[in-house]
Amino acid sequence: MRTLLIFSMTLCSFIFTSCEFTETLVLNADGSGEMKVQMDASAMIAMMSSMGNEEENAKMNDKIDTTFYFRDILADKKDSIATLPIEQQERLKKLEAYGVHVSMDTEAEKMVYDIFINFNSINEADNLFDAFNQINNTGVNSTSETEQSPSQESVKVRYSFENNVFKRDAYIADVELHKAEMDSLKGMEMMLGGTLYKLNYTFPKKIKSTTQEDATFSGDRKTLFYQVEYLDYLKNPDLMDIEVVLEK
């Protein structure tokens, strides 16, 4: 099952044009909560199913519903991690609190996986996207460096919540790396068209205002929904910057 799991997640990374991304936050009044990024690759599974014959589809039928944590993976790989540069070891150690949940049912044409963290303070989620990128990195699984998917490691996100004000600040941490990543995506723009990156944020109080005019809200105004084209976000992370002011 572990082999199938790695294969499934790696395959999704290669065909991430068939995926949909949702960043979900549930924030509690004391500042604790849960943050996750979900990649829904169900469309990819449906596409694979339509391309195969009945016998081939029967062979690939499988179900997975499992959760694991980076701390366990890092413990399992501790000998190989010990040979890495100290800076890279420290970067991996920051991911220990993050978990991965995978749900796959090929017969039902469903495949989703979440990278998540339960936090006491929202800034503990700042490394969420390092965990997301690391899932296909040699430091976590057996995929070779040449098999890694197009990267977005140059983009970082900072979260904060103070005095009833929540902020999400996405930024380019490495300009040269970001340019290289964008160059690697040339020729894929047509395939990436229509792929969305969504925000789904739930707060402990009603939302008074937000900086994103196109955001929508739930009936009780405690949940905010916002989305942009994934490729546009990769090119300009500021598109997903957001400030939310809660009622007192």
Phi and psi dihedrals of 148, rounded to 5?
-70, 150
The more confidently predicted of residues 222 and 196 is 222
Q: Out of 118-122, 151-155, 169-173, 188-192, which region has the weakest mean confidence (pLDDT)?
A: 188-192
Top mean pLDDT of 12-16, 101-105, 143-147, 157-161 is at 157-161
Give the chain's end-to-end CA distance (angstroms, integer).
49
Q: What is the mean pLDDT of the chain?
A: 82
CB-based contact 126:159 (threshold 8 Å): yes
Per the confidence metrics, is the pTM higher than 0.95?
no
More confident of the two residues 51 and 1: 51
Comparing 70 with 45, the larger pLDDT belongs to: 70
> Which three-class secondary structure string do you get for 152-176?
CCCEEEEEEEECCEEEEEEEECCHH
Alpha carbon 137 to chain centroid, angstroms: 14
Backbone angles phi, psi at 143, to 5 degrees: -70, 135
Percent of the chain whose predicted confidence (pLDDT) is above 90: 48
- Tokens for 194, please give them: 């229509």
CB contact at 8 A, 153 and 65? no
* pLDDT (mean) for 153-181: 94
Q: Per-domain residue ranges for the chain?
A: 1-20+35-116+124-146, 150-248
What span, in angstroms and rounded, lies between the C-alpha atoms of 152 and 185?
Answer: 10
Neighbours of 42 (CB within 10 A): 18
The predicted model gives 75-85 an average pLDDT of 91
Mean pLDDT calculated for residue range 218-241? 95
d(CA 100, CA 116): 6
Q: Round to whole Å and give the CA distance between 186 and 147.
A: 18
Q: What is the mean pLDDT of residues 161-188?
A: 91
Instruction: Give the mean model confidence (pLDDT) for residues 66-79.
Output: 90
Q: What is the pLDDT of residues 96-132, one digit of tens each?
A: 999 999 898 877 778 888 899 999 999 999 988 888 7
Place of tokens 């010990």: 82
Q: What pLDDT was estimated at residue 6? A: 45
Lowest mean pLDDT: which of 69-78, 101-110, 127-136, 207-216?
A: 127-136
Residue 18 has pLDDT above 70, yes or no: no
The mean per-residue pLDDT over the stretch 29-44 comes to: 88
Whole-number pLDDT of residue 19:
75
